[in-house]
């Protein structure tokens, strides 16, 4: 059975006999329909992902997506077309279905403009030696752009470490971002640093497109924290490392198999090596325990943060970083209560909290998840003197990473965000908001069923609990110290500022 890019002759056959789609993708089906109006010729759609199966809406039409088990019913003359960016992975699965091997000599895949360009340039450079190029990407898919995410997180921390230690003398360090002009000025005088746009992957501008694929095809190393799809056709001698953005408590109901999408994933402990291998469908030998480069910054926090962010001077600072409560990829989530915040439902509660903070000479710094726009319409929050909300867009404008601020916090409040695990390296008080724990477990699941036994800090069930925690922090009482100590080895193997160094050593990047 061979994998072949669909071509005109096959399209002609489809107009007569129809086509069977393997793996459903709104994006690729829309792209295909723009090129060839074959929607009314689709005779069946099949997908091996349970969450995709069943009835779905596509462009206002109801479609039924069947499981792979029903592929055995395909007629012998069926034309099977893979609609997936990971078409090679899908083909490998189909090759293992005996009845399909007996029935079909050819399986086809659809290549949109980006895939077509990728295949062209891969062929062009296939005999060229790889260069000392390191490519970084922290952004998710282009369709999910969010301010600040494209130049952030573990790839950003690793990049900055490499610059500080002169790795750019040997390696060309290349960032894939949306708009390169945002960053070029800052690094204009730094040798061997380049910013290019991931949007150039399918641009009609041949100069930009050629530059993009030159780096993608000839780089020795890739360090990413989000989508790996742009590396799908990487050569065996290119090293693709998923640094990810955190090791937390949340699971995922979707079955993900990333084994062939990158070569390695870095984690903070052996426990997370096992958890992430299972969660992302990776082999044990793909897991590398190094720690997270961004956690190194917690040991060297930004000193001028109060002036830059207009935070009042106080004796102590408590940071509150709640997790993302949306269950789908969205860019604007608002909580349906008076405050627009989790945990607090009434503005009067926030006023009482502010009064307590003022009395204790403390400031609470709230940093919401970038996807949540919860306090924009609440004028009452703006009147709170000791309660500061950090807006993601403002931080992005100032080019400030939350990891560079954490070290300024005397204590942390979170819930199930991975930031609690990040902050754990500092061995300072942590508290977890538990008011919607059950609802959260139903929507996302946890790595541990008995989650309360795996939280390295105090549990806060109501506003009074939070007030008590604040008072303890003010009085230097650390009730959660033993919990942190007992659980630290579960979440971290190391407690130092050398994670970026270990990452480079693990993959043999040296001066």
CA triple 501-506-510, angle to 5 deg:
65
The answer on pLDDT for 128 being more than 90 is: yes
Cα(380)–Cα(392) distance, rounded to whole angstroms? 20
Report which of 426, 419, 431 is spatially closest to residue 477, judged by C-alpha positions: 431
DSSP 446: B
Query: 3-class DSSP state for residue 76?
Result: coil
The CATH number of 116-296, from 3.40.50.11740, 3.40.50.10800, 1.10.1050.10, 3.40.50.11820, is: 3.40.50.11820
Q: What is the pLDDT of residue 366?
A: 93
The answer on pLDDT for 317 being more than 50 is: yes
Contact, 396 vs 420, CB < 8 A? no
Q: What is the pLDDT of residue 139?
A: 84
Q: Which fold has domain 2-111?
A: Rossmann fold (3.40.50)
What does the pLDDT average to over 406-426? 95
Q: What is the pLDDT of residue 345?
A: 86
Q: What is the pLDDT of residue 324?
A: 61
CA dihedral 112, 114, 117, 122 (to 10 degrees): -110
Q: What is the pLDDT of residue 51?
A: 85
Taking each helix axis from N to C end, the angle separating 153-164 and 499-506, rounded to the nearest 10 degrees, works out to 90
What does the pLDDT average to over 467-475? 98
Give me the residues paired with residue 195 across strands.
175
User: Percent of the chain at pLDDT above 70?
Assistant: 94
Q: What is the pLDDT of residues 223-263, one digit of tens each?
A: 999 889 999 999 999 999 999 988 888 777 666 889 999 99
SS3 content of the chain, % helix, strand, coil (to 5): 40, 20, 40
What does the pLDDT average to over 416-444? 86
Question: Residue 188 burial (CB < 10 Å; 0-12/13-18/19+)?
Answer: exposed
* Residue spans per domain, the chain: 2-111, 116-296, 301-491
Q: Of 284-288, 335-339, 367-371, 465-469, which gets the smallest average pLDDT?
A: 335-339
Sheet holding 458-460, edge to edge: 387-390, 362-367, 316-320, 411-414, 430-433, 458-460
Q: Which two tokens stand for residue 400?
A: 């400030």
Q: What is the pLDDT of residue 332?
A: 40
Q: What is the pLDDT of residue 446?
A: 80
Confirm or reject CATH 1.10.3720.10 for domain 301-491, answering yes or no.
no
- Residue of higher predicted confidence among 450 and 141: 450
User: Percent of the chain at pLDDT above 90?
Assistant: 72
The answer on pLDDT for 374 being more than 60 is: no
Mean of all residue pLDDT scores within the chain: 91
Query: 3-class DSSP state for residue 219?
Result: strand
The answer on pLDDT for 5 being more than 70 is: yes
Q: Which two tokens stand for residue 102?
A: 């007996």
- Residue of higher predicted confidence among 468 and 325: 468
* Residue 339: pLDDT band with limits 50, 70, 90: confident
Q: What is the pLDDT of residue 336?
A: 60
Contact, 383 vs 349, CB < 8 A? no
* Residue 442: pLDDT band with limits 50, 70, 90: low
Q: What is the pLDDT of residue 327?
A: 40
Please list, residue by residue across 360-386, b when 16 or more beta carbons sit within 10 angstroms of its beta carbon and e when fewer do.
Answer: bebbbbbbbbbbbbbbeebebbeebeb
Helix residue ranges, H only, 270-346: 270-279, 305-309
Q: Of 42-51, 124-133, 234-243, 332-341, which gets the smallest average pLDDT?
A: 332-341
Q: What is the pLDDT of residue 378?
A: 73
Q: What is the pLDDT of residues 93-103, one digit of tens each?
A: 999 999 998 99
* Residue 329: pLDDT band with limits 50, 70, 90: very low
Check for a shared fold between 2-111 and 116-296: yes
Pairing of strands 80-82, 54-58: unpaired
Q: What is the pLDDT of residues 453-468, one digit of tens each?
A: 999 999 999 999 999 9
């Amino acid at each position: 059975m061979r994998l072949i890019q669909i071509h005109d002759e096959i399209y002609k056959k489809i107009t007569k006999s129809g086509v069977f789609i393997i793996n459903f993708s709104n994006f690729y089906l829309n792209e295909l329909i723009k090129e060839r109006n074959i929607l009314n010729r689709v005779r069946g759609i099949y997908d091996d992902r349970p969450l995709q199966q069943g009835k779905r809406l596509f462009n206002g039409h109801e479609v039924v997506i069947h499981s792979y088990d029903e592929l055995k019913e395909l007629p012998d003359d069926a034309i099977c077309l893979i609609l997936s960016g990971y078409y090679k992975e899908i083909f490998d699965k189909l090759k293992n279905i005996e009845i399909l091997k007996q029935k079909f000599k050819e399986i086809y895949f659809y290549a949109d403009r980006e895939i077509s360009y990728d295949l062209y340039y891969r062929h062009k450079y296939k005999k060229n030696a790889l260069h000392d190029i390191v490519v970084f990407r922290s952004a998710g898919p282009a369709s999910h752009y969010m301010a600040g995410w494209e130049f952030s997180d573990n790839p950003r921390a690793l990049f900055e470490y490499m610059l500080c230690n002169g790795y750019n003398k040997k390696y060309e360090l290349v960032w894939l971002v949306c708009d390169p002009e945002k960053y070029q000025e800052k690094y204009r005088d730094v040798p061997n640093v380049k910013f290019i746009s991931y949007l150039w992957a399918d641009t009609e501008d041949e100069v930009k497109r050629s530059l993009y694929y030159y780096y993608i095809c000839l780089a020795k190393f890739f360090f990413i924290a989000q989508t790996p799809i742009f590396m799908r056709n990487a050569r065996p001698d290119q090293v693709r490392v998923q640094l990810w953005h955190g090791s937390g408590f949340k699971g995922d109901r979707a079955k993900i198999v990333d084994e062939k999408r990158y070569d390695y994933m870095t984690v903070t402990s052996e426990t997370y090596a096992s958890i992430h291998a299972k969660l992302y469908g990776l082999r044990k030998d793909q897991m590398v325990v190094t720690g997270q480069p961004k956690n190194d910054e917690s040991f060297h926090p930004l000193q001028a943060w109060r002036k830059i962010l207009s935070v009042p001077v106080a004796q102590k600072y408590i940071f509150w970083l709640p997790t993302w409560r949306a269950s789908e990829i969205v860019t604007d989530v608002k909580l349906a209560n008076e405050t627009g915040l989790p945990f607090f439902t009434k503005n009067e509660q926030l006023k009482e909290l502010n009064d307590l903070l003022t009395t204790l000479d403390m400031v609470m710094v709230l940093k919401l998840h970038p996807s949540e726009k919860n306090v924009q319409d609440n004028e009452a929050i703006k009147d709170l003197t000791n309660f500061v909300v950090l807006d993601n867009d403002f931080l992005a404008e100032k080019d400030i990473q939350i990891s560079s601020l954490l070290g300024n916090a005397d204590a942390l409040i979170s819930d199930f965000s991975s930031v609690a695990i990040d902050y754990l390296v500092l061995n300072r008080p942590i508290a977890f908001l538990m008011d919607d724990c059950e609802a959260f477990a139903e929507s996302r699941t946890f790595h541990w069923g008995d989650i309360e036994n795996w939280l390295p800090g105090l549990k806060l069930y109501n506003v009074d609990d939070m007030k008590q925690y604040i008072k303890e922090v003010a009085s230097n009482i650390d009730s959660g110290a033993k919990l942190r100590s007992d659980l630290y080895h579960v979440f971290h193997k190391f407690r130092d500022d050398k994670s970026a160094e270990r990452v480079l050593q693990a993959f043999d990047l040296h001066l």
